[in-house]
Amino acid sequence: MSSTNWPKTWGNTVSEVVHNWTEVSEALFVAGASTSVWQCGRGEPVVCLHGVPASAFLYRKLLPALEQQGMHGIAFDFPGLGLADRPIEFDYSWTSLSGWAEEAVNALGLDRFHLVVHDIGGPIGFDLIRRIPDRIKSLTVLNTLVRVANFSRPWTMEPFSWRVIGPLYVACTVGPALEMLMRHQGVQTPVPSAELRAYEKLLKRGDDGDAFLRIMRGFELTQEYEDRILPPLRNRKFPAQIIWGENDPALTLKKHAPLVQEALGLDSVMALPGKHFLPEDCPQEIARAVAKLVGSVK
């Protein structure tokens, strides 16, 4: 699909935004939990993995920007988020989600592809690299974590992982509250309120956020997981880059970017004027950087 078929604006109300976003999606049937996928353009495929409390909606600006750079932008919702299925019996751990992501790219018919990861899409994507290292052509990392064994969730996200408090906390995270949180930690550009509040509707769709809470409790903050994902990153045969929102108060540039830099063995980090949800603030800059990296692949 070309982004020329997407609406000029996503809408003035949350319902309009969610409806218009749904209208440009395609069904993707994956074993265990089917989902929706969004695609823009032709050329080199670039798969974008999202984190929490987001969905593929995070990439609605980046996908057409990738298309403008001559690439094929692809994003799908992880199980339990956005328009994806939310089976109660599904294993929402990072290990399970990385295995599911492998099935998703298989269902898309992708042989080799470029990868963009953000937030917990990072550790999930790093485990995907472990599974299929020869199918990854390049890696672009946005505001994520890699030293998971010693990672502490930001104070705004930690309560979601608590079994008793979590459901109450997610119930209180209604449109205005999530918008306030997003503006404080997530975005610094003037994203319309209806679009920020759409994140909440996509988060809680159909189950009041129960699957999201399962994901939050499924974080594998262990040395075992860290030891599993680090060697494939160090031994990779493809180029990588790090792009960071320099004003991210959750995963700060000063503390967290160097950890990813060390894991990838890179000399530098590209800092952009944005917060945690960098694809909201700097989609064009990210797309240009991805195009440059893609162009370096032989």
Give percent of the chain above pLDDT 90. Answer: 85
Q: What are the pLDDT digits (tens) for 138-165?
A: 999 999 999 999 988 776 777 667 676 7
β-pairing, 35-40 vs 71-76, is antiparallel
Measure the CA–CA gap between 210 and 77, rounded to whole angstroms.
16
Given a cut of 80, is residue 175 above it in pLDDT?
no
Measure the CA–CA gap between 293 and 260, rounded to whole angstroms.
17
Enter the tokens of residue 231.
């060697």
CA distances from 173 to 8, 204, 258 (A): 29, 10, 32
CA distances from 295 to 47, 75, 84, 196, 261 (A): 16, 21, 32, 33, 21
Q: Which of 40, 119, 31, 32 is nearest to 75 (CA)?
A: 40
What is residue 77's predicted lDDT score, i.e. its pLDDT?
A: 98
Model's pTM, two decimal places? 0.95
CA distances from 219 to 149, 151, 280 (A): 10, 10, 24
Q: Cβ(189)–Cβ(280) under 8 Å?
A: yes
Over the chain, what is the mean pLDDT?
93
Higher pLDDT, 183 or 166: 183
Helix (H, G, I), strand (E, B) or coil at 284: helix
CATH homologous superfamily of domain 3-295? Alpha/Beta hydrolase fold, catalytic domain (3.40.50.1820)
Query: Where are the chain's structural domains?
Result: 3-295
How would residue 5 be classed by pLDDT, with cut points 50, 70 and 90? confident
Measure the CA–CA gap between 202 and 92, rounded to whole angstroms.
17
What is residue 160's predicted lDDT score, i.e. its pLDDT?
A: 65
How would residue 8 be classed by pLDDT, with cut points 50, 70 and 90? confident
